Structure 1
Amino acid sequence: MKTLQVIIVEDEFHSRETLKAFLTEYCPQVELVETASNVEEAIEKISSLRPNLVFMDIELQTGTGFDVIQQVKHLDFHLIFTTAFEHYAIKAIKYSSIDYLLKPIDLDELLAAVQKVNALIASESRQHMLENLLTNFQISNPENRRICLSTAEGMEFIPANHISFCEANGSYTDFHLTDNRKLVVSKNLKEYETLLADMNFMRVHNSFLINLDEVKKFIKSEGGYIVMNNDKQVSISNSKREEFMKRMGI
């Protein structure tokens, strides 16, 4: 297993020391090469040491973790954010498939995040993930954000408004896109229902989460179903009909 060279960017002494202790004791694949406590120090150390992985507090003494990412020239590292609260930026982070840990850091969640980085270490997508994160963070309209979807072939960055509907497929989710492509992603539908909650998406059935902007028509007969703009049919639960019709202005 390849050693992960790690930099911790954290301005709180206790949080920094706790993370250092966890990594030293429980993550033998990690080599802690440096720490930083402010934006300027973080930029200098990341740029000169070129780590594989950076743990980054969102709020720092002289700015934010996003200030660091915007000013580092080489986005060739994996990133795990740390934060003490549900930060306004968490949504942009989730869209971009970047991990984050809530403080106080839970050891099991930390180990899972490091294991995920190990699995991705050979991937060439990390620069695209960080660039996508910066783009999503700067976009005020959620519908214009791109979602990072991890498929068997690699990472795909899809504008949210290019999603027609999502379909449950066991512990997987099938993304049906407006160009008629289908992407299979190894997360369940509930995760995407939460992620897309502030966009114009609705869970209309246990198996379906739809983009309401992509609805072509609603057929009331035969138990009722929805036809999307790509002419695919989606089931609707009786319990969801009233909410669906209200949101569609019917």
Structure 2
Amino acid sequence: MKINAILIDDERKALAILKNKLERLCPNVTIIAETQSPKEGIELIKKLKPQLVFLDVAMPELSGFDLLAEIENPDFEIIFATAFDNYAIEAIKHCAIGYLVKPVDNDDLIKTVKKAILNIEEKSALEKNKLLIENLGATTFQNKKIVVPSSEGLEFIKMSEILFFEGDNGYTRIHIVNRKAILSSHSIGYFNKLIENQSFYQIHKSYLINLTYIEKYLNEGYVILQDNHKLPVSRNRRQDFLNCLRE
């Protein structure tokens, strides 16, 4: 599948390097425009309607996130480029949007472009981009949502409504307040990395729980969550878990 792309980065050298790598490594990407100006980038997107936009996060005139918010219906796939910015990467990962860490690795570029092409075929960009804008406006992590691919399509789940993640033979069953659990093809390790350092704790290799919903800890090594879910805490994690609860 051939796709049209626009490159937006305020640094001339970074723009030139990305263009060169795409031309050498990703022959199915046709670069139809490039710019160092975010404002010009907005006009190019509106005029040329690209399928894919490579977008720098940190730009002085407008950030990549600000630029995205200026587009009324951002129905194009995005690959963000960023220096290692934990906040930016966390926001992007929650929405299943592609990103590259500068300096851009060749293998990462090829893999991310291939994923973007699959996403373009699935036509899911608009929903994911709107979710990113919504998440960036959320004041707390619990008000944010994550995108979860399921057998029926994409599920947009608010973090505050997740009771726990349950590992299930390489898949993950996500238990949600007041609704049926959903099964994701991602492993529980994927979700643990996605939400690390937040209000979740992996009590067992198969269970990642939302600490908000703990109702009781039993001395024999179990937690009781809302809706009477009784889950085991691994013996080697119990002391750390108890310390976490006391904090």
Mean CA deviation greater in 13-22 or 182-191: 182-191
Structure 2 residues not aligned, in runs of 5+? none
Q: State the TM-score, normalized to the length of structure 1.
A: 0.92
Counterpart of 1:182 in 2: which secondary structure?
Answer: strand
- 1:180 Cα deviation from its structure 2 partner: 4.3
Aligned pair partner of 1:243 in 231, 240, 243: 240
- 1:30 Cα deviation from its structure 2 partner: 1.0
Please tell me whether residue 232 in structure 1 is matched to residue 226 in structure 2.
no
Quote the residue 1:157 is aligned against: 156
Counterpart of 2:21 in 1: which secondary structure?
Answer: helix
The one-letter code sitting in structure 1 at the alignment partner of 2:199 is: N
Please tell me whether residue 29 in structure 1 is matched to residue 28 in structure 2.
yes
Contact 1:144 1:160 in 2 (8 A): yes
User: How far apart are the structure 2 equivalents of 1:211 and 1:29?
Assistant: 42
Q: State the TM-score, normalized to the length of structure 2.
A: 0.93
User: How far apart are the structure 1 equivalents of 2:172 and 2:115?
Assistant: 19
User: How far apart are the structure 1 equivalents of 2:17 and 2:40?
Assistant: 20
Contact 1:7 1:51 in 2 (8 A): yes
Please tell me whether residue 104 in structure 1 is matched to residue 103 in structure 2.
yes
Matches within 5 A, 1:32-71: 32-71=31-70
- 1:91 Cα deviation from its structure 2 partner: 1.3
User: How far apart are the structure 2 equivalents of 1:83 and 1:211?
Assistant: 30
Mean CA deviation greater in 121-130 or 137-146: 121-130
User: How far apart are the structure 2 equivalents of 1:61 and 1:220?
Assistant: 54
Mean CA deviation greater in 172-181 or 139-148: 172-181
User: How far apart are the structure 2 equivalents of 1:29 and 1:171?
Assistant: 32
Mean CA deviation greater in 140-149 or 86-95: 86-95
Structure ranking higher in helix proportion: 2
Mean CA deviation greater in 50-59 or 150-159: 150-159
Mean CA deviation greater in 234-243 or 199-208: 234-243
Q: CA RMSD in A?
A: 1.7
**Count of matched residue positions in the alignment of Structure 1 and Structure 2:** 247
Quote the residue 2:79 is aligned against: 80
Structure 1 residues not aligned, in runs of 5+? none
- 1:86 Cα deviation from its structure 2 partner: 2.1
Quote the residue 1:135 is aligned against: 134
Q: Which stretches of structure 1, 4 residues or more, deviate above 6 A after TM superposition?
A: none
Deviations 1:193-222 (A, max 9, x none): 23222321111111111011112322334x
